[in-house]
A and B are shown apart, each in its own frame.
Chain A
Amino acid sequence: MNDYAWLVRREFWENRAIWIVPIAIGVALTLAALFGNVQIPALSAPDSRALSGVVLFGFGVTFFVVMNIYATWYLLDCLYADRKDRSVLFWKSLPISDTATVLAKLFTGLIAIPLVYFIAADIATLLMAFIVSVRAHSALGGSLWQPDLWLQLQVLWLYLIVTTAIWYLPFAGYLMVMSAWARRAVTLWSIVPPLAAYLLERWFFGTHWVGTVLQERAFGYLPHALRDNYHGTWVTTVVGDDTITTPASIWRMLDPLGFFTSPATWVGVGVGIAFIIAAIQLRLRRTEV
């Protein structure tokens, strides 16, 4: 376990963007809250609660989107970078197995990086909510600070981190295979196999199986992890000319039982494990770019 802690720490040393980018977003949000033009109309208590939820959620989404782009890039780069600068020969001169190296990088990409963004998003949204509440206290009555909403967001974040890590394991494993295999232009190479499979299938069989599978994996996360029949629990708030629609409760959106009992989840885990084993085998054998 100690080795894994060092390996993950090593990833943070190498990829300083892991913490610099979320801090930069957080600073930008805090500055916007401090000096931005805050105009919040007087709202009734339930309406300001909804607005607060939207603001908290909106900033969470900003962090979440940037995090996913960065984590994808990280997984694609992590095994390639060591080969490109030949430092793989230094890391391999130490008593660390290639399995441990690959698993530590996978953990960094799927769990550690999202956790850093989660913490940064928390600190930034708390600061922002506090500052905006103080600046707009007359209009808002301090109601941007909603403890139960905030708590719900915490649970949502952790739920998203765990379930996306599991659902997108095959994508992560695939990216690592490409990272361990490609001799140059990793990003380009990572697109070639699925595109080729898709086109060849279309030309020779006229079917769309590959495309459908990829599409279901890419976009199937939301219907699998979150409840799809939450129509009844939407709340509409009117703020000036805008109408905001928010779920009454985030709790009710989560569907862990459905997610963990879905065959699609576990088929994905199986495929993901196969890719990770392949990435380890490539890491064992390939030291040059």
Chain B
Amino acid sequence: MPPLIEAHDLSKNYGKHVALDHVNFAVETGRIVGLIGPNGAGKTTALRAILGLTPYEGRLRVLDREPFGERAALMRDASFIADVAVLPAWLRVDQAIDFVAGIHPRFRRDRAHALLSKTQITGKRRMRELSKGMKTQVHLALTMAIDAKLLVLDEPTLGLDILARRSFFDALVNDYMDETRTILITTHQVEEVENLLTDVIFIDRGRIVLDCSLEDIATRYAAVAVADDKVAAARAERPFFERRTLGKTVLYFERSDVQQLANLGELLTPSVSDLFVAKLSGGAA
């Protein structure tokens, strides 16, 4: 089975600005992939290309389709929440449900009603009358009622308070995700999503700097916290990043044989946030 999303040499320029620079990656079915990078790294451009919202150079297949030319067909099997604020102010909740039910072959109205019945939101309310958190609940209910193979979320919790964020991700993991689905999620806030991801792709200045499953992080990356007298010896092992913390120096390595490192100090498994900082802090120490 080919990957759900497959990008080869994917590039996109805006005038002289290179948003994506010959990027390669693949996303397999059943994964929850985080596309993570600082603002302006190319995350949104990559998503726009995957969703058929923008033309691009290179080869890109999503659900075995060419996204830009076949967006409408692609959207029968994929859905996305671009940003919480995109439901138009004039739209009523019941109109939104009627419209999506009318045009989407995979939309299940009963499911949307079931999801909304858990909230305070009634059908006659217009989006302009709802809070940001409530609009997110409506959008999520609409999207989760679509039996899609791929769900794409672009900074889905931007501008939401902590309670709304938590309930958003809880609903996503508990009520939606199963082995037939795939979720691709972009964020610049790693901590928020690192517990639910199965894979991470780090992107910086239009290039991929890390592409790894969470299981593989432990085997591909290692960190060691060493006392000051052993820093020189540890540096000889060629870490790609180091930082000072609590009187010790933590050095990060991309390697699997950790026995040597264990002799230098305390071995740590880097978290996704640690790796994010390490990989994007401007290269090797």
Contact = CB atoms under 8 A, between A and B. Distances in A.
Interface stretch (A28-36, A91-99, A208-216, A262-270): A91-99
Nearest to B79: A93
A96 B88 contact: no
Interface residues of B, number: 35
Contact of B75 (A2, A85, A88, A93): A93
Contacts of A233: none
Contact of B81 (A85, A93, A95): A93
Nearest to A6: B102
B159 interface: no
Contacts of B89: 85
Nearest to A82: B88
A16 to B, nearest CB: 8
A94 B285 CA distance: 47
Contact of A6 (B52, B82, B99, B139): B99
A87 B90 CA distance: 11
A100 B91 CA distance: 20
Interface in A73-127: 82, 85-90, 92-98, 100
A90 B104 CA distance: 13
A6 B98 CA distance: 9
B88 A94 contact: no
Contact of A92 (B53, B95, B143): B53
A85 B88 contact: yes
Size bracket of the A interface = 20 to 34
Nearest to B154: A89
Contacts of A14: 88, 90-91
A6 B87 CA distance: 17
Contacts of A88: 86
A10 interface: yes
Interface in B177-206: none
Given A6-B99, A10-B99, A93 B88 contact: no
Given A13-B92, A13-B95, A285-B55, A94 B104 contact: yes
A228 interface: no
For the residues of A in contact with B, the DSSP-based class is: helix
A88 B99 CA distance: 15
Given A3-B103, A13-B95, A90 B75 contact: no
Given A10-B99, A89-B83, A92-B53, A97 B71 contact: yes
Contacts of A146: none
A86 B100 contact: no
A287 interface: yes
Interface string B128-148: 000000000001000100000
B114 interface: no
A6 B90 CA distance: 16
Contacts of A100: 72
A87 B87 contact: yes
Given A95-B105, A285-B55, A89 B90 contact: no
A285 B54 contact: yes
Interface of B: 48, 51-55, 68, 71-76, 79-83, 85-92, 95, 99-100, 102-105, 139, 143
